[in-house]
């Protein structure tokens, strides 16, 4: 019986610790995200899945550069000069997306992790360019900021 209580206490402590790591929701950050620098555009990455099956994180690339990791229930962004971009995971497996980014433009990439059955392991990541922007922003409202994933940051977080 004591072992069961200790396990329960450990699970509760872990949940509290993880909740403390969660960033603020997109809906509360919209006014605090810095403007896009002149000549640049912005790319948001977000993953709506919050289930443990999708818990494994993979590195994401923009062209040849690793820019961060996907995280279930979270988002982050990177700013890049106007140009053509290919977004995929670190090993270029799965399906990525290609698009043009104009100066001042914001693009949204939805990341979905595929399960490898009952193991809980994650297979390929699939990515989808989401348009119109209002659709992506609505999907992101309750997602948590995962700024530690990328070089760009929201000031104060």
Q: What's the rounded Cα separation, in Å, for the pair 58 and 43?
A: 17
Mean pLDDT of the chain: 80
C-beta of residue 123 within 8 angstroms of C-beta of residue 116? yes
Mean pLDDT of 18-39: 82
**Phi and psi of 54, rounded to 5°?**
-100, 25
pLDDT number for residue 31? 85
| All domains in the chain, ordered by first residue | 25-149 (2.60.40)
Which pair of tokens denotes residue 153? 């940051």
Mean pLDDT of 30-35: 89
pTM for this prediction: 0.79
Q: What's the rounded Cα separation, in Å, for the pair 75 and 148?
A: 10
Q: Which of 31-35, 139-143, 150-154 has the highest mean pLDDT?
A: 139-143
């Amino acid at each position: 019986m004591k072992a069961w209580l200790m396990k329960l206490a450990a699970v509760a402590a872990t949940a509290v610790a993880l909740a403390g790591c969660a960033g603020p929701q997109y809906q509360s950050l919209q006014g605090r995200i810095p403007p896009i620098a002149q000549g640049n555009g912005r790319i948001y990455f977000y993953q709506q899945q919050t289930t443990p099956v999708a818990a494994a994180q993979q590195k994401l690339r923009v062209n040849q550069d690793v820019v961060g990791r996907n995280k279930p229930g979270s988002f982050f962004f990177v700013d890049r000069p106007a140009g053509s971009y290919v977004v995929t995971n670190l090993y270029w497996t799965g399906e990525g997306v290609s698009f043009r980014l104009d100066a001042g433009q914001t693009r949204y990439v939805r990341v979905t992790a595929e399960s490898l059955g009952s193991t809980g392991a994650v297979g390929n990541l699939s990515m989808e360019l989401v348009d119109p922007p209002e659709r992506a922003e609505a999907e992101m409202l309750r997602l948590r900021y995962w700024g530690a994933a990328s070089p760009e940051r929201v000031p104060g977080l």
